[in-house]
Every structure is written in C-alpha cells, then in structure tokens.
Amino acid sequence: MSDISEKYFTMLEGWLKYYGFEALNVHAESGADKVFKRSRVEVSKFGKVDCYVCSKYMPEGATGQELKVFSEKMYSLANRHRTGAPLGFGAMLVVYPLLITNNITAELAGFMGQYCPKHFAAAEFPSVLDLSTGYLYYYPNTPVWGYAYYATYRRESYNFFAPKAWEETSKQLAQSTQTYVR
C-alpha cells in the first residue's frame, strides 16, 4: 500500500467509528483489506439493520468485472456472518463494498454508472474512491424497486467514504463546538 492509501485507511477507520462501526478481524482470504460492521434498530427499515463496509485497495487498473466479483463476494461474506431474524422479517442487510484506487479507469467509472445489484430485504451498494481526485463513484440513479432507500445509500456512501464529506463534517462539528462553548 502507498502512504496515501495507508493514511486513507486510518482516516476511514476513524470516521466509521464516528458513525458507530466497529472493525472486524478478517482473514486475507476474504478478499477485503478491512471490514467494519454496525448493527442497530432502524424504524425506517422496520427492524434490525446489519451494515457492513468492506474495503479493498487496488492501486490502479481495476476493472468493472473485478469490482463486480469483489462486491458479490463481500455481500456473500456479510450475509453469512450476520445474525438475527431472517431478512425481510424484522431484519435487513446493507453492504457497502468499497474499492480504493489511485486512478480510476474510464471503464470502471462507466461500469459504476450502470451496476446496480438487487436483493430481497438487503442492499449491495458498491463504491469506488479515486485517491488522486478524492472523487467517489457509485450508482447515481434510483431504481424503481429501490425508491425508498437509494437516496440514503448514496448519502451514507458519501458521508462514510469521501474525504470532502469528512472535511464538511469536521467543520460543522467545530462550529457547533464553538457555539456550545460560548
């Protein structure tokens, strides 16, 4: 890993902790560099939601097919490890596979604009962060079947993974702290 990616992973872990995630120990064979999990009851999702962030660093040249394989593998990993009620009956699963790269390819950027996996009572919402630009790529549209939740997935992906979002949140926290101290 590069110094930039090491720094990003450190910051990612801190921000995910801020959002209530805990780091999980995963074996190298899992296909992820880091995995995080948050479980909580969400009224808007009608029960317990297990949310996983599975991140992988691929320096350059990642393809849409590689992202698809990684995303499917991370969804399967999270689905095997979640506990509780069956999906759709008081439980939901949300998986954010995150690919981190130094320079996203045009092919992968185009793929992100069309890749939208579908599951029952679960979401697989892959994202790609280009470290050279700080830009975050994910499926930009809302499928009819995902109308109730896709805006949330996009917002959470941005808040969890985008350095620009971390800056914005830090400024807001600093301002609210200053207001509170006065």
- Coil, helix or strand for 149? coil
Number of domains observed in the structure of the chain = 1
Residue pLDDT, tens place only, 113-161:
999 999 988 999 999 999 999 999 999 887 777 777 889 999 999 999 9
CA atoms of 181 and 14, how far apart (whole Å): 24
> Which two structure tokens, joined as six digits, stand for 78?
């999270």
Indicate if the pLDDT at residue 29 is higher than 80: no
Structural domain harbouring 19: 3-181
Position 141 scores a pLDDT of 83
Residue pLDDT, tens place only, 32-82:
999 999 998 877 766 899 999 999 999 888 999 999 999 999 999 999 988
What pTM was estimated for this model as a whole?
0.89
